[in-house]
Amino acid sequence: MDISVLMSSDEYKTIEADIESFVKEKLDGYKPSRTTGKTIHDPVWGSVEYSDWEMQLIDSPLFQRLRDIHQVGLAMLTYPAARHSRFEHSLGVAAAAKKMCEKISKNSKRCPFKKNDKNKVYLAALLHDIGHGFYSHLSESIYGEFKAFDKLITKFKRMLKRKPKAHEALAFIIINTETFRNFFFENINYPDKNECQGYLFSDVGKMIIGANIEESDEVYSFLTAIINGPFDADKLDYIKRDSHTAGLSLSYDMERLFTKIVVHTVQNESRQTEYRLVIKFNGVTAIEELTFCRIMLFSYIYYHQKVLISEAMVKDYVHGLHRLGIIREFSDFLRYTDSDILKLAKQQGNKSPFPKYEMLNLEKLALNIANRRLPKRCFEISQSNVENIAEEPKFDLTHQCQILAEQCKNGITAEELQSRIELMIFSLRNQETREDKVLLDSLYNELGKVTFEAMLALRKKFYIQLANEYSKAGKAVNFNMFDVYIIVPKSANYGEAGDSVILGRNNKDLLQINDFVKLDDWAASFNSNKWRGYVFVSEHIDLSIAFKVAQKFILKGKARVKKPTSYMKVDL
């Protein structure tokens, strides 16, 4: 597909004009100095060499802003050492991409790289996160809900047959703005840049959003896979870096993976010759380790209850800034970094961000976030800690056999005997396979996919029920709905199980990841055993009263929490 069609669409142009102003602001008057290549020392990749043109790009204000954007958002409030930024992560992705390119050239039967392909990969690696805003993925979860941006992502999906992440789409727009392109080709000492002006950032943008680069009847999917694929440079870096800074003992056999990656030529479904990045059969264990590490990161860091409540507080705060017009444009999510954003609350004055609801004091909320004064967990729900209130009677096989024996003594036809035995087998199987635990699908569908506005309405209903319980207990209500947080995280997803990227023992046939690493099963197991939904309340609220309201509000009288005191400090 011609990417220019997408770039000329109304949906794209609307946001591009806004992003163009931001890029102009960052690069206005900046001229990179003459420099040589440098060696940068990194705790994950060791000593890494970066060329002169890479250093010119790294030193630019547009790239330097990544120093003030935390890689894992507010996780440092729980893991104090996890303060690494998108800056060092981007350098790390470039380092991983360099190693991958080196190993691909060595392992492949013939070098699959054409002239300047490797530099194109390094450029994409450096720029892949240039579209991140404050608190990384947290900010994109906010602006990603805005109608104009949703229309753009829908356009991407319809035309490219894939849905890029919000920050990937912004990165694509940034590097394809006229300002950035002019800056790059006029000031950066990129090799043979005059030969590639017409397509360089179109190709780099495709690699960032996960779209393949095509030339006539050939598809160079391996280039994109290095940056955005099942075992790309991005994953190789953040899995190592995030776990290292958090103090978690997670590791994968990095060297084994590097020695087993290769480019394999296949005929794709469109009858095109495709150069695909694959891993040799005896390197599958490295993919298994990589997947396991991602699962643990979800469990330990990304879905940690304190991380989730911190993020929920920031969502209230940022949505409040947006409703007040303090943050207006998409470019504002790029313009303000982590150290800026909490200062904006001073502009609130006496205005209410949410006139339909109670007053939310943004300055107080910002102070609570900065000082880690977090609400307390009053309710937790998971697949393992809830039970049905009305359990079905268990099937007693011994008793049923005794009844059948008596019937046989009194006379029974062969057909009746067969029918009764089949009924007993069915009842027994039904009992063995029946889940006594409450399945959380309905809860997730109801609460996990709602917009911020819809969640405000739910929190209002919860507050009303809580206030009623306070009145019954004769207690004064000294809180409002913004003292209540209902958190239902998304279910985990670890990748595309159907990706055919495992090279068989015969070095010819390709096998799917799911043939070796049961991604769907692993994700289902995590969601079943590790997934948690929560209700948090501020310090002004009695936890025991809040628990009773939460259990009724969330489980609707159909189920109950088994032992709440075993995991919460609630006096029931």
The candidate with the shortest Cα–Cα distance to 75, out of 66, 67, 88, 84, is 84
Q: Which token pair is 472?
A: 């019954």
Amino acid code (one letter) for 341: I
Secondary element (H or E) of residue 215: strand 214-215
- Measured CA to CA, the distance from residue 270 to residue 1 in angstroms comes to 13
The tens place of each residue's pLDDT in the chain, 572 residues long, gives: 578 888 999 999 999 999 999 999 999 989 998 888 999 999 999 999 999 999 999 999 999 999 999 999 899 999 999 999 999 999 999 999 999 999 999 988 777 888 899 999 999 999 999 999 999 988 998 898 888 999 999 999 888 888 899 999 999 999 999 999 999 999 999 998 988 888 999 999 999 999 999 988 899 999 999 999 989 999 999 999 999 999 988 888 888 899 999 999 988 877 889 999 999 988 888 888 888 888 888 888 988 999 999 999 999 999 999 999 999 999 999 999 999 999 999 999 999 999 999 999 999 999 999 999 999 999 998 877 887 775 545 656 777 787 777 777 777 766 666 666 756 665 565 454 444 444 466 666 677 778 899 999 999 999 999 999 999 999 999 999 999 999 988 776 666 656 788 888 888 888 888 777 777 777 777 766 778 899 999 999 999 999 999 999 998 887 888 887 776 776 66
Q: Which token pair is 442?
A: 């309905």
- Measured CA to CA, the distance from residue 330 to residue 495 in angstroms comes to 28
Q: Are 536 and 375 in contact (CB under 8 A)?
A: yes
Q: How many CB atoms lie within 10 A of CB 100?
A: 25
- Residue 559's region, left for phi above 0, alpha for psi from -120 to 50, else beta, is beta
Q: Say whether 500 sits in a helix, a strand or coil.
A: strand
Give 146: exposed, middle or buried? Use CB within 10 Å, 0-12, 13-18, 19+: middle
DSSP string of 31-58, one letter each residue? -PPP---EEEEETTTEEEEE-HHHHHHH
Q: Which token pair is 228?
A: 């955005």
Helix and strand tally (H, E) in the chain?
Answer: 25, 13
The candidate with the shortest Cα–Cα distance to 77, out of 343, 363, 313, 241, is 313
Q: Say whether 532 sits in a helix, a strand or coil.
A: coil
Dmax (CA) of the chain: 103
Q: How many CB atoms lie within 10 A of CB 54?
A: 25
